[in-house]
Amino acid sequence: MTATKKAHPYGGKMTFWERTYLPEVFRGMGITIKHVIHNLLHTSEMPTVQYPEEHRSYSPRFRGRHRLMQRDDGSPRCVACMMCSTACPADCIHIVAGEHPDPAIEKFPETFDIDLLRCVYCGLCEEACPCDAIRMDTGIYEIAGTTREEFFVSKEFLLNNKSDGTEV
Protein backbone atom coordinates (compact mmCIF):
# COMPACT_ATOMS: atom_id res chain seq x y z
CA MET A 1 0.00 0.00 0.00
CA THR A 2 1.33 3.38 -0.92
CA ALA A 3 1.11 6.25 1.54
CA THR A 4 -1.42 8.82 0.39
CA LYS A 5 -1.00 12.46 1.28
CA LYS A 6 -3.54 13.50 3.90
CA ALA A 7 -5.68 16.52 3.09
CA HIS A 8 -5.19 19.55 5.32
CA PRO A 9 -8.04 19.64 7.87
CA TYR A 10 -8.88 23.24 6.99
CA GLY A 11 -8.50 22.75 3.29
CA GLY A 12 -5.04 23.43 1.95
CA LYS A 13 -2.02 25.45 2.88
CA MET A 14 -2.26 28.33 5.36
CA THR A 15 -1.62 31.79 4.10
CA PHE A 16 1.03 34.11 5.53
CA TRP A 17 -1.45 35.93 7.81
CA GLU A 18 -2.90 32.71 9.06
CA ARG A 19 0.57 31.53 9.93
CA THR A 20 1.09 34.58 12.13
CA TYR A 21 -2.17 33.74 14.02
CA LEU A 22 -2.61 37.43 14.84
CA PRO A 23 -5.98 38.01 13.06
CA GLU A 24 -7.53 35.11 15.04
CA VAL A 25 -6.01 36.30 18.30
CA PHE A 26 -7.57 39.74 17.89
CA ARG A 27 -10.88 38.25 16.77
CA GLY A 28 -11.05 36.12 19.95
CA MET A 29 -10.16 39.08 22.13
CA GLY A 30 -12.91 41.05 20.40
CA ILE A 31 -15.55 38.44 21.25
CA THR A 32 -14.43 38.29 24.88
CA ILE A 33 -14.43 42.04 25.28
CA LYS A 34 -17.83 42.31 23.59
CA HIS A 35 -19.31 39.91 26.19
CA VAL A 36 -17.59 41.67 29.09
CA ILE A 37 -19.09 44.99 28.05
CA HIS A 38 -22.52 43.44 27.37
CA ASN A 39 -22.59 41.71 30.76
CA LEU A 40 -21.48 44.81 32.60
CA LEU A 41 -24.30 46.78 30.98
CA HIS A 42 -26.95 44.01 31.40
CA THR A 43 -26.12 42.28 34.72
CA SER A 44 -29.62 40.80 35.06
CA GLU A 45 -29.18 38.66 31.93
CA MET A 46 -26.04 36.92 33.14
CA PRO A 47 -26.46 33.10 33.22
CA THR A 48 -24.22 32.66 36.26
CA VAL A 49 -26.03 31.54 39.42
CA GLN A 50 -24.58 32.72 42.70
CA TYR A 51 -24.59 29.22 44.24
CA PRO A 52 -24.96 28.46 47.13
CA GLU A 53 -26.61 31.80 48.00
CA GLU A 54 -28.83 31.39 44.99
CA HIS A 55 -30.39 28.12 43.77
CA ARG A 56 -31.18 27.32 40.24
CA SER A 57 -34.85 26.41 39.79
CA TYR A 58 -35.48 23.14 38.01
CA SER A 59 -38.56 21.97 36.19
CA PRO A 60 -41.25 20.29 38.30
CA ARG A 61 -40.30 16.98 36.66
CA PHE A 62 -36.81 17.10 38.11
CA ARG A 63 -36.12 14.00 40.19
CA GLY A 64 -34.63 14.95 43.52
CA ARG A 65 -34.35 13.09 46.77
CA HIS A 66 -37.25 10.74 47.46
CA ARG A 67 -40.01 11.27 49.95
CA LEU A 68 -42.71 8.99 51.32
CA MET A 69 -46.26 10.27 51.21
CA GLN A 70 -48.39 10.25 54.33
CA ARG A 71 -51.96 9.29 54.99
CA ASP A 72 -54.16 11.85 56.75
CA ASP A 73 -53.05 10.50 60.11
CA GLY A 74 -49.39 10.85 59.27
CA SER A 75 -48.70 7.15 58.77
CA PRO A 76 -47.02 6.12 55.52
CA ARG A 77 -49.22 5.61 52.49
CA CYS A 78 -46.91 2.78 51.46
CA VAL A 79 -48.32 -0.75 51.71
CA ALA A 80 -44.95 -2.48 51.35
CA CYS A 81 -45.84 -4.14 48.03
CA MET A 82 -42.15 -4.09 47.01
CA MET A 83 -42.95 -2.86 43.50
CA CYS A 84 -40.38 -0.09 43.86
CA SER A 85 -37.66 -2.36 45.16
CA THR A 86 -38.46 -4.85 42.40
CA ALA A 87 -38.29 -2.15 39.74
CA CYS A 88 -35.18 -0.52 41.20
CA PRO A 89 -32.24 -1.16 38.87
CA ALA A 90 -29.76 -0.13 41.55
CA ASP A 91 -31.26 -2.39 44.22
CA CYS A 92 -31.19 0.47 46.70
CA ILE A 93 -34.63 0.17 48.35
CA HIS A 94 -34.89 -2.14 51.33
CA ILE A 95 -38.34 -2.76 52.79
CA VAL A 96 -39.45 -5.01 55.60
CA ALA A 97 -43.21 -5.54 55.56
CA GLY A 98 -45.26 -5.90 58.69
CA GLU A 99 -48.80 -6.70 59.74
CA HIS A 100 -50.83 -3.55 60.36
CA PRO A 101 -53.24 -3.69 63.33
CA ASP A 102 -56.02 -2.31 61.12
CA PRO A 103 -57.16 -5.14 58.77
CA ALA A 104 -58.34 -2.56 56.24
CA ILE A 105 -54.74 -1.41 55.81
CA GLU A 106 -53.31 -4.87 56.49
CA LYS A 107 -49.74 -4.34 55.41
CA PHE A 108 -47.29 -1.55 56.06
CA PRO A 109 -43.54 -1.02 55.87
CA GLU A 110 -41.87 -1.72 59.19
CA THR A 111 -38.70 -0.32 57.74
CA PHE A 112 -38.23 1.49 54.45
CA ASP A 113 -34.61 2.32 53.78
CA ILE A 114 -33.08 3.88 50.70
CA ASP A 115 -29.38 3.80 50.07
CA LEU A 116 -28.93 7.18 48.40
CA LEU A 117 -25.39 6.32 47.37
CA ARG A 118 -26.63 3.43 45.27
CA CYS A 119 -29.65 5.28 43.89
CA VAL A 120 -29.34 6.38 40.27
CA TYR A 121 -32.37 8.74 40.46
CA CYS A 122 -34.04 7.03 37.51
CA GLY A 123 -37.54 7.44 38.94
CA LEU A 124 -38.65 3.88 38.21
CA CYS A 125 -39.71 3.52 41.87
CA GLU A 126 -42.24 6.31 41.69
CA GLU A 127 -43.46 5.01 38.35
CA ALA A 128 -43.90 1.51 39.77
CA CYS A 129 -45.68 2.62 42.93
CA PRO A 130 -49.38 1.69 42.76
CA CYS A 131 -50.25 3.83 45.79
CA ASP A 132 -48.46 7.07 44.92
CA ALA A 133 -46.52 6.54 48.12
CA ILE A 134 -43.03 7.37 46.92
CA ARG A 135 -42.26 10.56 45.04
CA MET A 136 -39.09 12.26 43.92
CA ASP A 137 -40.53 15.75 43.73
CA THR A 138 -38.69 17.30 46.65
CA GLY A 139 -36.31 19.08 44.32
CA ILE A 140 -33.49 18.30 46.71
CA TYR A 141 -30.28 17.66 44.85
CA GLU A 142 -27.79 18.69 47.50
CA ILE A 143 -27.18 15.34 49.10
CA ALA A 144 -24.01 15.47 51.09
CA GLY A 145 -22.59 13.70 54.06
CA THR A 146 -19.35 12.64 55.63
CA THR A 147 -20.11 8.96 56.29
CA ARG A 148 -21.79 6.23 54.26
CA GLU A 149 -24.35 5.72 57.03
CA GLU A 150 -25.70 9.22 56.51
CA PHE A 151 -26.82 8.25 53.02
CA PHE A 152 -28.79 5.26 54.27
CA VAL A 153 -32.05 7.06 54.96
CA SER A 154 -34.92 5.59 56.96
CA LYS A 155 -38.71 5.62 56.70
CA GLU A 156 -38.98 8.39 59.30
CA PHE A 157 -36.56 10.58 57.36
CA LEU A 158 -38.33 9.98 54.06
CA LEU A 159 -41.77 10.68 55.55
CA ASN A 160 -40.63 14.12 56.69
CA ASN A 161 -39.27 15.30 53.35
CA LYS A 162 -41.65 17.96 52.10
CA SER A 163 -42.27 18.66 48.46
CA ASP A 164 -40.98 22.21 48.78
CA GLY A 165 -37.61 20.83 49.73
CA THR A 166 -37.75 21.65 53.40
CA GLU A 167 -37.13 19.07 56.04
CA VAL A 168 -39.24 18.99 59.17
Number of chain positions touching other proteins (CB under 8 A)? 15
- Nearer to other proteins by C-beta: 28 or 98? 98
Q: Which amino acid is at 100?
A: H
**Rule CB under 8 A: which of 131-160 touch other proteins?**
131
- Nearer to other proteins by C-beta: 124 or 143? 124
Residue of 64, 66, 80, 126 interacting with other proteins (CB under 8 A) = 80
Nearest of 67, 73, 69, 68 to residue 104 by alpha carbon? 73
Nearest of 137, 165, 166, 160 to residue 75 by alpha carbon? 160
What is the CA angle 114-119-123, rounded to 5?
95
- Nearer to other proteins by C-beta: 91 or 156? 91
- Parallel, antiparallel or unpaired: strands 134-135 and 67-68: antiparallel
C-beta of 9: minimal distance to other proteins in Å? 56
| Residues in touch with other proteins (CB under 8 A) | 79-83, 86, 97-99, 103-104, 106-107, 130-131
